[in-house]
Amino acid sequence: MKKRFSKFFGTRQFYKLALAVAVPLMMQQLITSSVNLVDNLMVGQLGDAALGGVAAVNRFYIIATYGTNGVLAAAAIFIAQFFGARDEERMKQSFRFSILSAYAIMIPFFILGILAPEGIVHFFTSDPVIIQLGSAYMRIAAFTFLPMALSLGISSAMRAVGETKIPLVISAGAVLTNTVLNYCLIFGNFGFPRLGVEGAAIATLIARVLEATVLLIVLSKLDLPFKTKLSQLFHVSGQLARSILIKAAPLALNEVMWSLGMATLFKFYATRGPEVMSGYSIANTIGDIFFVLFGGMAAATTVLVSQPLGANKLDEARDHGYQLLGFSVMLSLLFAILMFGSSFVVPHFYQVSPTAKQVAVDVLRIMSVMFWIYMGNTQCYFILRAGGDTRSTLFMDSGYMWTVNIPLICCFTYFTGVDILVLYVIGQMTDILKLVIAYSLVRKEKWVVNLTQF
């Protein structure tokens, strides 16, 4: 028994390396999540309807972001493995592919956000006030998709080669800018006009443009192995593009389907009233502070699993995969305790209805109890993805969500009168079976593959 569990524990040197890669990205996401929390608090001052409208738009925003990240994750696998194999030319081509594909996904969402904001918000709610406020926010926020595509592509490539500190610093500057501008434009402070939710959208747009601009400048100055000339942006070999697409298609489809699933669940929960919409949004915004662990472990998995695979060190990559799974679950227990503790304090800073506050508290506590299960599932996903086993990721993630989780919650939403707390618990309990499936896929070890040999 002892030998069976020993594979989940690494050496002190292994943990130091994992944390060295993971912590900068965790800090970047912590800064972003903390600022999002402050932004959420600011919008919350405008009432449940304003918070609900912005939350609805953010669900649409998440679909675009996750879809883009799915393709970028596939490209990052190749960048990391080519980095391990010291193949700079194909690293550059993989980076070009990532930028082109990011815009191929983001531009349709930008157009849809500009042309049909009311329809998008109406998908989540029929409340006319929420639709009005959400649409006003969307018309401006949709422009952020354009600089975001560039920022996500550059940051993803940097992390794939182990450069995590630069995106951290740049992101910190962008989110600080966003917070200051939110304070000025939402409430009309320091002589700025009071613009409400539109002010929040303008602040976000300016911050995203600033982030993309600085990343471009840094990329032009540093000697990064994937850096390419603008004139060569479309120079990607057909064979490499096909190889990335074969891996990217399931990942992108998974991310889009998963985020669509989350949006659908939000719609189900919203049937219980606008207070539930704002309370659920509050809980998720607070929860994001602790879910930074996921981003950190994603970066660590790319470096500690994908790079050894590219260098054909298959046994090392396999060992690292299981050790990262054990490490992530151990860390998740600490994060869960902190999340549970936050439920007693943070939701009460919001100036929303007592019902919305109570929903936020309850959802946050359920999240904390289930946190180690979420982390186990997600780390299995990262391991499978690191070796290019993207079909398994599609099956165990969004495939499971749409065949088990969503049908179950849909039935309880529309055929029973259970309250939001019971509805939410039912949905979260399905993750226990999902963990069993996810780990069984990891144990098959189809992910222990060198993708550079073609």
Q: What is the pLDDT along the chain (454 residues), one digit of tens a residue?
A: 455 667 888 888 889 888 888 887 787 677 766 666 676 678 878 877 888 788 888 888 888 888 888 888 888 888 888 887 888 888 899 999 999 999 999 999 999 999 999 999 888 888 889 899 999 999 998 999 999 999 999 999 998 887 878 888 898 888 889 889 999 999 999 989 999 989 999 998 999 999 999 999 999 998 888 988 888 888 888 888 888 888 777 877 887 888 888 888 888 988 888 888 888 888 988 888 898 888 889 888 888 888 888 888 889 989 999 999 999 999 999 999 999 999 999 888 887 788 989 999 999 999 999 999 999 999 998 898 888 787 888 888 888 999 999 999 999 999 998 988 999 999 999 999 999 999 999 999 888 888 766 5
Q: Encoding tokens for residue 363?
A: 């959802």
Does residue 79 form part of some domain?
yes
Task: Name the residue range of residue 260's domain.
Answer: 2-444
Does residue 451 form part of some domain? Answer: no
Count up the domains in the chain and report the number. 1
Q: Is residue 449 part of a domain?
A: no
pLDDT of residue 136: 93
Residue 84 lies in a domain: yes
In degrees, rounded to 5, the angle at the alpha carbon of residue 320 between the alpha carbons of residues 318 and 325 is: 105
Cα angle, residue 43 at apex, residues 294 and 197 outer, rounded to 5°: 110
CA gap 342, 316 in Å, rounded: 38
The pLDDT assigned to 371 comes to: 95
Q: Is residue 76 part of a domain?
A: yes
Contact 444, 396 (CB under 8 A): no
Secondary structure, 3-state, the chain: CHHHHHCCCCCHHHHHHHHHHHHHHHHHHHHHHHHHHHHHHHHHCCCHHHHHHHHHHHHHHHHHHHHHHHHHHHHHHHHHHHHHCCCHHHHHHHHHHHHHHHHHHHHHHHHHHHHCHHHHHHCCCCCHHHHHHHHHHHHHHHHHHHHHHHHHHHHHHHHHCCCCHHHHHHHHHHHHHHHHHHHHHHHCHHHCCCCCHHHHHHHHHHHHHHHHHHHHHHHHHCCCCCCCCHHHCCCCCHHHHHHHHHHHHHHHHHHHHHHHHHHHHHHHHHCCCHHHHHHHHHHHHHHHHHCHHHHHHHHHHHHHHHHHHHCCCHHHHHHHHHHHHHHHHHHHHHHHHHHHHHCCCHHHHCCCCHHHHHHHHHHHHHHHHHHHHHHHHHHHHHHHHHCCCHHHHHHHHHHHHHHHHHHHHHHHHHHCCCCHHHHHHHHHHHHHHHHHHHHHHHHHCCCCCCCCCC
Whole-prediction pTM value? Answer: 0.72
pLDDT of residue 313: 87
Q: Is residue 406 in a domain?
A: yes
Q: What is the C-alpha to C-alpha distance for residues 286 and 93, in angstroms, rounded to an integer?
A: 38
pLDDT of residue 454: 52
Residue 256 belongs to a domain: yes
Identify the pLDDT of residue 150: 95
Q: Are the beta carbons of 133 and 51 closer than 8 angstroms?
A: no
Give the Cα separation of 366 and 371 in Å (integer).
8
CA distances from 183 to 177, 178, 206 (A): 10, 9, 14
- Nearest residue to 405 (alpha-carbon basis) of 441, 453, 437: 437
295 in any annotated domain: yes
Q: What pLDDT does 143 receive?
A: 96
